[in-house]
Chain A
Amino acid sequence: MNEFTAPSIDWSALSPVLVSLGGAVVVLLVSLFLPVRIRRGFGAVVASVCFLAAGAAAIALFAADETGRGIVADALRRDRLAELAEIFVMGAGLLTVGVSFRERGGGDRAGEYYALLLTAASGMAFFVSASNLMTLFLGLEWFSICLYVLTAIAVERLSGLEAGLKYLIVGSFGSAVLLFGSALVYGATGAIGFEQIAAGTDDAERLFVVAGLAMILVGLAFKASAAPFHMWTPDVYEGAPTPITGFMSAATKVAALVVTLRVLVTVFPSEAELWTVALAVIVCISLAWGNLAALVQTNVKRMLAYSSISHAGFLLMAIAAGNALGGRALLYYLIAYSAVSVGSFAVVAIRERELAGPVTLASLAGFGWERPFLGTSMALFMFGFIGLPPAGIFLGKFYVFSAVIDRGWTWLAIVGVVATVVSVYYYAGVIRAMFMQRRELAVVAAGGSPPTDRALVAAVAVAVVVTIGSFVAADPLLEIARDAVALLPFPEG
C-alpha cells in the first residue's frame, strides 16, 4: 500500500464556487425556520450578498492571477478566462434576484428558489473552470439539474412543469452525448486532463478522437442552444418563470460558450481545421433557423428564445474564427449580450405580472407610454439585440465579424450581416408594438396594476447601464477580454 498524500486545496481559488454554494445552504436551511412571509425577502438578501461576494472574489482572483494554475490535483483550472466568466455569471445571478423578487408562483418555496439559483451559479462557476473531462461533466450536470428544477418550480402552472420535463429529457440527452464523447476521447488517449489529452491525441486512434470531439461539441451546443440542437429552447424559455428564462439565456450561454472555447482550443488544437469548419456550419444553421423562426412569433418570450438561438450563432462565430481576436470578441460580446438578455426578460416579466398571462406583441401595445422607463429600456435592449449603438453588441458584432474575416472567412461575416438585417424586422416589431400601436381592448387585472417593483426596475437600470457602458467603455473591457484569453493556445495565432 503506497503512502497516501492528500491534494493541497487552494480555498481562496475556490471561493466564488464556495461562497455561492454556502449561501445556498444557508438559505435552504434557515428558511425552513422562518415564517413564510419573510422567506422571500431573506432568500433575496442572502442571494444578493452571496452573488456580490462571489463576484468580488472572482474580481480579486482576476486581478491577482496572471498565469493561471491548476488547483486540487488539477481538477479545476484557475485562470482569467474562468474568473471573467464567473463575474458574468454572478452578475447575471444578482440581476435575476432583483427580477425575481416580486415574481408570483412557486408558493412558499421562495427559499428553495433562491437556493437553487445560487447553486446553479455555483455550478456554472465550477463548470467554467473545469480542466478535466470528469469535472466538465459534473459541472454541467450540477447547474443543469438546478435549472431543470427552477424551470418547473411553479408547479401550479402546467406549462412550467411541461417545460421542466422537456428540458430534463432533452438536456439529459445532451449530457449523455457529451459523456459518451468524453468516454471516446478517454478511450483513445487514456487521459482525462485537458492538457494530457491534447498531448496524447497525436498517437491516438484518430477516429475515436474525432467522434469524441463531435459528441462533446454537440453536448455543449445543446447547452448553448445552438441550432440544430436548440429544439428545447423555445418551449423551455416560454414555460420557465421569466426571471429564470433571463438567467438561463445569459448565464447558461456564458458558461456553455466559455467552456466550448476552452475545450476546443486547449483539448483539440490538433483538430482545429475540423472544429472550426463544424462550428461554421452550426453558426449558419443557428443564424438561419433562429432568425427565420423568430420572424413569425407573436409570443414575446418565444421570439426572444429564437433570438437567443441566433445570438448563439454569432457567439459561436467568434469561436469558429479560432484566433485570439475571436476569443476577445466572444467575451466582450457576452458582457453586452448578458445585460441585454436579462434586461429584456425582466421587462417581459413585469408585463406578464400586469397581465397575469403570457406577453404577446399585441399585449405590449401602448406599454412604452404607460411605463416610459421600462419601455425605453426595452427599446434600447431591442436596438442592442439588433446590434445598433449605443449598445455594446454593436461593437461585439463588429469584432466577431473582424475575427472571421481575419481568418479568411469573409462569407461567414456576410452571413452574419444578412442575419442581422433580417433580425431588424422582429426586434423592431417589439418597439413598434410598444410605442406605435394603440391598445384595442385593454385587459385590466383585477385590483389594478401591481405596485411598482423597485427591485426589478433597479435590475433593469443596471442592465441599461451595462448595455450602454459596454459601448462607452469598450477599450478597457476589450483589454480585460484580451487578458482573459491571453493564455489560450489559439490555432490561428
Chain B
Amino acid sequence: MPLEAPVEVMLAASAGNVLVWVVWVVAALALLSSGIAVVLFTNPFYSALSLIGNLASLAVLYLLLSGEFVAGAQVIVYAGAIVIMFVFVLAYLGGRADAPWAGGPTLQAAAAVVAAAAIALEVIVVIALAAGDQLSDTAEVTGAFGSPAEIGDLFLSDHLLAFEATSIVLLVAAVGGVILGSAMPQRSKAGAD
C-alpha cells in the first residue's frame, strides 16, 4: 500500500484485514474441531454431519485464498454430493460402527497416528520454511487466477480433451457400478438362469 494513501483508506483496509483474520481464525477452528469430531463421534451419522461442517469450513478457507471456484466446487461436490452419498450408505447399512479405539490400539490405528504425525511434521516444516523465506519461489497470482471464468476457459481450450475424457471415465465407472451392484441380489434370489 502506498504511504501517501488517505487515512480513511488505511483504516478501512486494516479493518478489512481484521475481518479476514477473524474469519480465518473462526474457519480454522471450525475446521479443526469438526475434523476431530468426525473421528471421535461413535455414531456415524454425526461423523458424516461433522464432515459436512469440515468441508464447509475448508471452503471458507479456499474463499480467503481467492479460490472462489474451488470453494464452490467443494461445497457442491463434496458436501452436496459425496457426503450425502455417505449418509445414504449409512442409512442403508444402519448406524453400526465401532467407536475409535474400541478394541484397543490396533496396527491400523498406530499406522494412522504415524501417518498423521508425518503430515503434521511436513506442514510444520513448510510453514517454518515459509516464515524463514526459505521457499524457492513464491506463486504469482494474477487477478483472474482461480476464477470460474478462467477455469471454464481452460476447460474448453487447453484441457478440452482431458475435460471430455473425464466425463467418459465417470460414465464408465457409473456403468460398471450399475452392472456390479444391480445384478447380484437379483441373481441370488432367482438362482441359476
Q: Which residues of A contact B (CB under 8 A)?
A: 1-2, 4-7, 9, 21, 28, 72-73, 75-76, 107-109, 112, 115-116, 119, 123, 126, 132, 134-135, 138-139, 141-142, 145-146, 148-149, 152-153, 155-156, 161, 164, 205
Contact = CB atoms under 8 A, between A and B. Distances in A.
B169 interface: yes
Contacts of B184: 155
Interface stretch (B13-21, B56-64, B114-122, B174-182): B174-182
B187 A4 contact: no
Contacts of B96: none
B160 A73 contact: yes
A116 B165 contact: no
Contacts of A109: 179, 183
A72 B156 CA distance: 10
Contact of B156 (A4, A76, A119): A4
A112 B187 contact: no
B161 interface: yes
Interface residues of B, number: 26
A6 B162 contact: no
Given A149-B175, A155-B187, A72 B160 contact: yes
Contacts, number: 87
Nearest to B193: A107
A139 B165 CA distance: 8
A2 B176 CA distance: 41
Interface of B is mostly: helix
A108 B175 CA distance: 15
Given A4-B157, A155-B183, A155-B184, A148 B165 contact: no
A350 to B, nearest CB: 21
Interface of B: 136, 144, 149, 153, 156-162, 165-166, 168-169, 172-173, 175-176, 179-180, 183-184, 187, 192-193
B169 A141 contact: yes
Contact of B172 (A108, A142, A155, A161): A142
A146 B176 contact: yes
Contacts of B179: 109, 112, 149, 153, 155
A389 B166 CA distance: 44
Given A75-B162, A116-B176, A155-B180, A142 B157 contact: no
A135 B165 contact: yes
A189 to B, nearest CB: 12
